[in-house]
Amino acid sequence: MTTPSEQAQPQADEQRDPGLSAIMSERRQLLNLAYRMLGSLADAEDVVQETYTRWYAMSRAQQEAIESPGAWLTKVASRICLNVLRSARARRETYLGEWIPEPLPDPAEWIAGAAGGAGVDPADRITLDESVTMAFLVVFESMTPAERVAFVLHDVFRYPFAEVAEIVGRSPAACRQLATSARRRIAAARAEASPNAARQASVVRRFKAAWEAQDIEALLGLLDPSATAIADGGGRAIAHLLPIEGAEQIARLYLTIARFAPPRTILERTVNGLPGLVVESGGTIETVFAFEVAGDDRITRIWAVRNPDKLRPWQPA
């Protein structure tokens, strides 16, 4: 997380050298890129901070010798992301339970987060689009680090393969193949889901009503027979460690939760750009739910994030 002292240094430098404002204006682009590559806001913030640390570590002459500072920052951030992705695979093998990408609220609902408070700088917000829906981020997790970086750089941020090749350390032709492979995975995920916000909002609203009413028949009617529910507690919160398969098993689990959970409020909120739910108890957001809804308006996947480390942007200031 960026600390006030870390923020103050770039601001002071900008006052001494107005040209650095162009460097700092790249922050939002870097944060958006890193979040899509890593699926973690905390890791993305660390990547951006490390990128700027490397910039400031150079002499003024070295900085002025760089023809395109924005391209340099992107290249450095992407390479750091590639290293993080490679090490993350080993870390996640020891993660307790399932690992789900970190959910994000709508920018208008961004309460706390990296910069803290309601006055968060727009540069510290992630732009929400199809490439950050939970379904897409989960598919990204199935890719190799090189595939993920190549796809995000080329297909999402429109970098030419010649530049992608310099970052990934492979030929442009190899990077084209990496992006093609990643694109096939994305196409399969897109075919299964129906990310229409209005239709999904209706389905999620009915799911909320059925859950609160403890109406098992209504829940079964909203769930695809082969639906999957995944929870991420990370050892920090109670959560089922293995995916729950099948509509009936999911419905019974959620009814059990409704019957025995302490008093709480279920709210409709935007989660990674699509309608979802959050559970609030005692002024704290305890769970964020993201959904995948198929073309027949049935829920095929539920992702429940309970790890408090991943819910920081959701908490009241």
Rounded Cα–Cα distance for residues 212 and 206 (Å): 10
Tokens 């598919």 belong to residue: 139
The string of pLDDT tens digits covering residues 13-65 is: 444 554 567 788 899 999 999 999 999 999 999 999 999 999 999 999 999 99
The predicted pLDDT at position 122 comes to 60
Please, what is the average pLDDT of the chain?
Answer: 88
The string of pLDDT tens digits covering residues 204-220 is: 999 999 999 999 999 99
Nearest to 137 by CA among 102, 87, 89: 102
The string of pLDDT tens digits covering residues 224-234 is: 999 999 999 99
Q: Can you state the percent helix, strand and coil of the chain, rounding each to 5?
A: 55, 15, 30
The predicted pLDDT at position 1 comes to 42
Helix, coil or strand: residue 222: helix
Domain 134-192, second-level architecture: Orthogonal Bundle (1.10)
In the sheet with 274-281, reading across from the earlier edge strand, the strands are: 244-245, 223-232, 299-305, 284-293, 274-281, 265-271
The predicted pLDDT at position 114 comes to 37
Per-domain residue ranges of the chain: 1-94, 134-192, 197-314
Q: pTM here?
A: 0.87
Overall average pLDDT of the 286-306 stretch: 95
The string of pLDDT tens digits covering residues 235-251 is: 999 999 999 999 999 99
pLDDT at 117 over 80: no
pLDDT at 108 over 80: no
CATH of domain 197-314: 3.10.450.50
The string of pLDDT tens digits covering residues 181-203 is: 999 988 887 766 665 888 999 99
pLDDT at 175 over 70: yes
The predicted pLDDT at position 17 comes to 55
